[in-house]
Structure 1
Amino acid sequence: MSDGTARDPFARDLEVLAHLRGYPEDLARFANLMKQAHPHGKTAIDVVLGRPAAEDSLVVAVCRSVAEGVPVLNAVEAADLWGVPPRRFLEEVASRPGFPAPLFAREHRRLWRRPEVEAYRAARSGAGEGVTSGGEAGERQAEHGPAGDPPSGVSRLGEA
């Protein structure tokens, strides 16, 4: 835990909030809990972790990690490291044999120890491994050409 976090326990709540980026329902739930807890001098982390038999959720996993001082990454943050969308990261990178096991995994939500993911990335980038193209821009160019527009008569993914 950094000196600023040790002096300001509410900074831990902000750290949790940052790790919930990309998960709007979880982010809103935790933000509302912060609004309820802070006026009473409590942290939202303490409220979450103080509940009997805390549920197994991304919010609880992030709260535990932050409270224990474990640096973590969620799937959205990890995808940013690779420069690809989260779904592509989960399908092409996180599913590889040898990729670090998540601390938490449920549906599309994942949480890993940051140092393990960074070490994996560093080891693979030296070996020339990556994703199959250069992120979203490369993916668009590979599928649609340099302008990013689909060929005539072809709709974009998800369009009718």
Structure 2
Amino acid sequence: MVTMQEMMSTPVRTLSPDDSVLDARRAMAEWRVRHIPILSVHEIPEKRRLVGIVSRGDLLAAMDSDIYAMTEDERAEHEASISLERIMTKNVATASPETGMADGANFLLNRKVGCLPIVREKQVIGIVTDHDFVRATLKLLERLETESPVEND
């Protein structure tokens, strides 16, 4: 059985509830990600816990239509005033590293979510996204094609 641990992305880049929409937008662009787990604020890293997740869709939903009439500086100021705590999805479903890939894929499809944080002992150790499943499927398809090539008549 292929497990989530085998396909999860690490290290996980995170933000805190006190960070802003501007911080998340810039982080997503820099890190080239669409989902950012939000961890509680604590001075001891081992005590930081998953309290939410922010997706690119959450950022878009947080912006009001007036933002498009703003200058870049006005937009940045507006985004900086909105904390991630206000827009993050709370009560995030997670999976263990031992969860099977098929179970994880079914969860994403049935719940219509784009990612699943992987947690061990309440610590986020990885993240699996719909993109990871597409990549894994592509590898399987490529392997099938090379193992059983199509013959032309």
TM-score by length of 1: 0.30
User: Which structure: greater helix fraction?
Assistant: 1
Q: Which one scores higher on RCO, CA 8 angstroms, separation ≥ 6?
A: 2
